[in-house]
Amino acid sequence: MATSRLYCGRFAPTPSGPLHFGSLVAAVASYIDAKAHQGRWLVRIEDVDKPRAVPGASNVILHQLEQHGLGWDGEVWYQSQRDHVYRDVLAQLQHQQATYFCTCTRKQIKARGAHYTGYCRHRQRSAEGSAVRFCNDHSRTHFNDRIQGQVELAPEFAHEDFLLLRRDQLYTYQLAVVVDDIEQGVTDIVRGADLLTASSWQVTLWQRLSQQQPRLAHVNLALDENGRKLSKQNHAPALQAQQVPQQLRAAFEFLGLTITDLTDNPHSLLEQATVAWRTKYLS
């Protein structure tokens, strides 16, 4: 279990644009959880989906984190530089006969139902023009979350043979995030609740690749006035450099943390938030 190892957390944004309030909430939660455990906090740029990466966005994100006092430990990792690692892990899984080639398009999958049915699993497809799917024979339909409690997932989704390599030969987020978390020694994953369902696939892959399992904690999502998740896709406004203390206080309030000191120093604010987090979640 994670409690037997030195704590290591991480924040892993996609560089498709600057950080917004929703991403600040996730960053703050993962940061102060690491500090509350006297652990390490890493930053990783999740640009494995190279076409989605906006030039210069990763530098903007790192600068925004620094502005808000969110300093990281060690070097920043970039998934776009790690294809060779993902290739080796995928080759290992293929050697273990834990994968298969799939030629199904999204349109074909949708025509058969809401979830992938394993159509290509026994059809002996060739590698050319194919994606690679994981044989999801030991899927997790439930897990315990430090914030959300016992999480039950739809079996149809949890049992899907998910993609590790896309048909365009880009490695998937599911593969990259698990491989990187294992290699970096991540013990605790604190992130937004929009990734709750994906956790079932990731925990399953963790079980295949490592004896150690991370603890999970998913914070509630910040929503816009229409009830939609704040996201770059939904045009959430970027964080403002002139509003750092106000933005931090708003993130603390969203997380249910009470901060009484009126200082505008982001480091002092984060120290107070860490104490409040420790009282709320660790006491």
Which segments are annotated as binding site? 10-14, 46, 102, 104, 116, 120, 173, 191, 232
Please state the residue numbers annotated as binding site for Zn(2+).
Answer: 102, 104, 116, 120
Annotated binding site for ATP: 232
CA pair distance 38, 43, nearest whole angstrom: 16
Spell out a b/e string for 227-265, using b for 16 or more CB atoms within 10 Å of the CB, else e: eeebbbeeebeebeeeebbebbbbbbebbebebeeeeee
What long-range pairs does 106-115 form, CB within 8 A, spacing at least 24?
A: 114/156, 115/156, 115/157, 115/159, 115/160
Whole-angstrom distance, CA of residue 177 vs CA of residue 131: 18
Binding residues for L-glutamate: 10-14, 46, 173, 191
Distance between CA atoms of residues 18 and 16, nearest Å: 7
Which strands make up the sheet holding 131-134, listed edge to edge? Answer: 99-102, 131-134, 163-165
Partners of 77 in the β-ladder:
44
Strand pairing class (131-134; 163-165):
antiparallel
Mapped onto helix, strand or coil, the DSSP state of residue 134 is: strand
Contacts of 199 (CB under 8 A, 6+ apart): 143, 151, 216, 218
Q: How far apart are CA 76 and CA 43, in angstroms?
A: 5
